Amino acid sequence: MLLAGDIFSVLKNVLVVIYLITIFSICLMIVFENRNPVKTLSWLLVIMFIPVAGVITYVFFGRNYRKQKIYSRKSLADSVRLTDHVDRQVSLLHKVLAVESEAVRSKEHLIHLMLNNNRSLLTLNNRIDLLVNGKEAFPAMLDAIASAGKFIHLEIYRLEPDTLGTEFRELMKRKAGEGVKVRVVYDDVGSWNIHKTYIRDMREAGVEIYPFMPVRFPAFSSKINYRNHRKILVVDGREGFVGGLNIADKYIHGLPGLGPWVDTHLRLTGEAVAALDRVFVDDWNFVSGEKLQPGTYVENTVKTGNRCLVQVASSGPDTDWATIMQVYFSAIATAKTSIYLTSPYFSPDESLLTALKTAALSGVDVRMIFPKYSDSIIANWNTRSYISELLEAGVRIFLYENGFIHSKYLLVDNVFSSVGSPNVDVRSFDLDFEVTALVYDEEFAFRLGVLFNEDLKNCSEVTLQQWLKRKKGDRYKESLARIFGPLY
């Protein structure tokens, strides 16, 4: 007859065997996903050396949905009509660019890349306003919403029920009452603080609003790590906004202990607005179950009288390629004179890191702005872990001191620009749904360069000699944070 102690011992051994089988199975799963070896080894170490918690962390955050095609939402992007447009642009691209400057023509390979890997149509007639910080961006966005006569499409990662969020809500409610079609998509994790009453109030006023992949048990594990980080506003197909700003008071007033919140946004008018709306419509159909078609409301004939080449690029775990990472890599690897990059979080894969170092070693002027003070402790130490090798390669590193810089932009050779939602990190390139405007225009590049130089005035440059003297404790923090860099 088995005693209580014997039964406990048997159960313990059974649980240990089950746990070991689970670990072995998950390790095999990770290996067979054929990921980047660094990320594979990081997950294997976490699972093997952090009992139970490692397995739970992987289940919640580690599964590779791009490989598994869980988020297969490409029916719109793969439509026959869009494919025909893309094929036509590819075949005529050289002729279309013949009238452009030599500098713009030198980036033809980037345009071609985005046509092939993302079906990002090239738009020719556009006007771009560079909006610096919330004090410039939010009034412009609210004015556009107030002037809406047909529709308002808002897609946002963080929507807070604070003073600014309430102002946006009340204005959209009023426009819905005037008969304007108001559609809103918010990320369920990014907008965690939204109350049910906030949403119910909007719906009762006629606003159509949906969360992006709501996180609820038991489906928690399959959704929490894949978030919609896009920031899109399209009004009547005539104005579009994209960039790094969410809707919350901190984007105007900053954060205690960090100071002002520094960010960059764009207002688009012209043909690129329809391309931006196409990204929204794809996401709207996913969350709402509708089959809204782009062009139903979009004024595709909007003309600005200004020739400025723009592609709207999107990426996420639903795409076959890490499209935005690829265009960043190609732009950096083929840069001839200069690369100016600003990102609040920096955790690149090996290819992008190598491209940056190789460019600097080749004589390209590579300058990067990181925040000196960050809203994320782990992300900040992870970013700092890359500074030594960048400095050794000749990259110039600047730390922003007058607040927290959240801007996300890239400027290459004073002609190619990217302003949007993606950070230069693994999360933005592999896990989150992102969107950015790729601009091929020397005049806009000049304006972005002026902004970069203005940001430099609030920075301190880091020298290699100075950096090598930092505390040993800081080096340990950097190394530890870097282990987790490929995981988040």
Active-site positions read 229, 231, 236, 406, 408, 413
In whole angstroms, how far apart are CA 199 and each of 49, 118, 210, 374? 43, 33, 9, 31
**253 with 182: CB under 8 angstroms?**
no
Structural tokens at position 470: 């930092």
DSSP secondary structure of 203-214: HHTT-EEEEES-
- Signed CA dihedral, 419, 421, 425, 428: sign only: negative
Q: How far apart are CA 176 and CA 208, in angstroms?
A: 9
Instruction: Give the H or E element holding residue 102.
Output: helix 102-105
The Cα angle at residue 117 between residues 113 and 121, in degrees rounded to 5: 75
Q: How far apart are CA 471 and CA 475, in angstroms?
A: 7
Whether the ω angle into residue 218 lies within 30 degrees of 0, i.e. cis, is yes
DSSP state of 300: T
Q: How far apart are CA 11 and CA 440, in angstroms?
A: 65
308 backbone dihedrals φ, ψ, rounded to 5°: -150, 120
Q: How far apart are CA 97 and CA 119, in angstroms?
A: 18
Burial profile 135-174: b = 16 or more Cβ within 10 angstroms, e = fewer: ebbbebbeebbeebeebbbbbbbbbbbeebbeebbebbbe
Structural tokens at position 251: 């984007």
Nearest to 129 by CA among 376, 461, 384, 439: 439
How deeply is 60 buried, as exposed, middle or buried, from its count of CB atoms within 10 A (0-12, 13-18, 19+)?
middle
Give the CA radius of gyration of the chain: 24
